[in-house]
Amino acid sequence: MKDLNDILAMAQNVQNELSKAQENLDTIEVEGAAGGGLVKVRASAKGRIVAVTIDESLLQPSEKQMVEDLVAAALNDARAKADAASSAEMAKMTSGLPLPPGFKLPF
């Protein structure tokens, strides 16, 4: 069994690496789209919405319901891509750590 100080140092290292990875997630951007690109949402891998773009052809009162549906769909698409980018980034961070099989971060 390893010395307690070694285990504590390893835990501190994991915490520092996790913190760095979390900070990095806000710099990675993904784009979700709906309606064939008529509505686009840019988000960080951390899930922060950066921008929403709506094609001018949709800006008519009669298109209100469709625009709302497309915005929701684009947000969901962006969120799914943000989650995938976050998972990929966290996998990179944990690839060199001696974690037990099946152990997932963040906790």
Please provide the DSSP assignment of 15-58 as one string: HHHHHHHHHHHTT-EEEEEETTTTEEEEEETTS-EEEEEE-GGG
- Whether residue 103 lies inside any domain: the answer is no
- Whether residue 13 lies inside any domain: the answer is yes
Q: What is the pLDDT of residues 95-104, one digit of tens each?
A: 766 665 665 5
- Give the model's confidence band at 106: pLDDT under 50 very low, under 70 low, under 90 confident, else very high: low
User: What radius of gyration do the chain's Cα atoms show?
Assistant: 20
Say which residue, 19 or 31, is predicted with more confidence.
31
- Whether residue 79 lies inside any domain: the answer is yes
- Whether residue 57 lies inside any domain: the answer is yes
| Domain encompassing residue 39 | 4-94
Mean residue pLDDT across the chain: 83
The pLDDT score that the predictor gives to residue 98 is: 61
The pLDDT score that the predictor gives to residue 107 is: 46
Amino acid at 36: G
Mean pLDDT of 5-31: 82
* Structural domains counted in the chain: 1
- Whether residue 84 lies inside any domain: the answer is yes
- Whether residue 100 lies inside any domain: the answer is no
Taking the model in full, what pTM does it have?
0.66
Q: Could you tell me the CATH number of the domain that includes residue 50?
A: 3.30.1310.10
Which secondary structure element, helix H or strand E, spans residue 59, and what is its range?
none
Q: What is the pLDDT of residues 25-67, one digit of tens each?
A: 888 899 999 999 999 999 988 888 999 999 999 999 999 999 9
- Whether residue 102 lies inside any domain: the answer is no
